[in-house]
Amino acid sequence: MQALYAQLLVGLINGSFYALLSLGLAVIFGMLNIINFAHGALYMMGAFCAYFLLNLVGLNYWWALLIAPILVGIFGMILERTMLQWLTGLDHLYGLLLTFGIALIVQGVFQNYFGSSGLPYAIPDQLKGGINLGFMFLPIYRAWVVIFSLVICVATWFLIEKTRLGAYLRAATENPTLVRAFGVNVPRMITLTYGLGVGLAALAGVLSAPINQVRPLMGADLIIVVFAVVVIGGMGSIMGSIITGFALGVIEGLTKYFYPEASNTVVFVLMVLVLLVKPTGLTGRAA
């Protein structure tokens, strides 16, 4: 029984990464109608950004948490301005192919220069060590990851669902022409939204840098699972993707305990089941 508590907690930790990443995807899909396959590569760039900030500029983890999302977010906005914006109104497939291509290029460039096994990034001194919970030894850094991502997820949800700015955003997705008539600069808002989604990916990248290796393919390995999370949660539903992210982390954690061999397929099995029963995803509305 004790072991089970530990596995649940570990699942929650992995779930926070799924939640943060699928949140960014949901924001981008919900507002821009783009299936952002470059998300994994941008997550990876966030982690590399943290590595460079530490080793080239001397700025520590806490600065990276702030600066990396901004830098990668700016990179994302440049992508949106120069490429993605031309795809507005076209079939989803074009956006998917374009972002997939961008991901391959970015990963290829990083792999060329840094190889595949990755670079070490130490846990910040303030978060080293762990607490003995009785049923398990909980590393402080992991606890921090869960709490911090929960805060970010809720804040993002609040921003989009409960503020005036969010209302503009949702309105602009619904009817861009009308919102423009009210004097809102819709294209700029879309660019900023993409920047926000990308920033969330980079933030997740910084969070994961001390746990995983800073590797060119760290995003590629994760992004497929995260897409499954978004599909299960319902494309474009913000709360849906947050809850599904955490829930699937827990389910995956339990699988690792009961039947480890299936731990990297269980998410996809669930995805198939959900698609069969409710094709719009658990919280999605019919189109």
Task: List residues near other proteins by CB under 8 A.
Answer: 3, 6-7, 10-11, 13-14, 111-120, 122-123, 130, 136-137, 139, 141-142, 211-213, 215, 217-218, 221-222, 253, 256-257, 260-261, 263-264
Locus of tokens 């060329």: 112
In contact, 65 and 191? CB cutoff 8 Å:
no
Phi, psi torsion values for 37, nearest 5 degrees: -75, -10
User: From the CB of 234, what's the least distance to other proteins, in Å?
Assistant: 25
> Closest CB to other proteins among 82 and 117?
117
* Distance in angstroms (rounded) separating the CA atoms of residues 81 and 88: 12
User: From the CB of 257, what's the least distance to other proteins, in Å?
Assistant: 6
Locus of tokens 């609040």: 158
> Closest CB to other proteins among 64 and 192?
64
> Closest CB to other proteins among 127 and 150?
127
Closest C-alpha to 84, from 73, 95, 96: 95
* Distance in angstroms (rounded) separating the CA atoms of residues 189 and 77: 11
> Closest CB to other proteins among 105 and 154?
105
User: From the CB of 123, what's the least distance to other proteins, in Å?
Assistant: 7
> Closest CB to other proteins among 91 and 261?
261
User: From the CB of 10, what's the least distance to other proteins, in Å?
Assistant: 5
User: From the CB of 282, what's the least distance to other proteins, in Å?
Assistant: 24
Closest C-alpha to 36, from 223, 165, 263: 223
Angle at 204 between CA 203 and CA 208, to 5 degrees: 120
User: From the CB of 209, what's the least distance to other proteins, in Å?
Assistant: 11
Q: What is the DSSP code (8-state) at residue 116?
A: S
In contact, 287 and 243? CB cutoff 8 Å:
no
How many residues are given for the chain?
Answer: 287
> Closest CB to other proteins among 157 and 227?
227
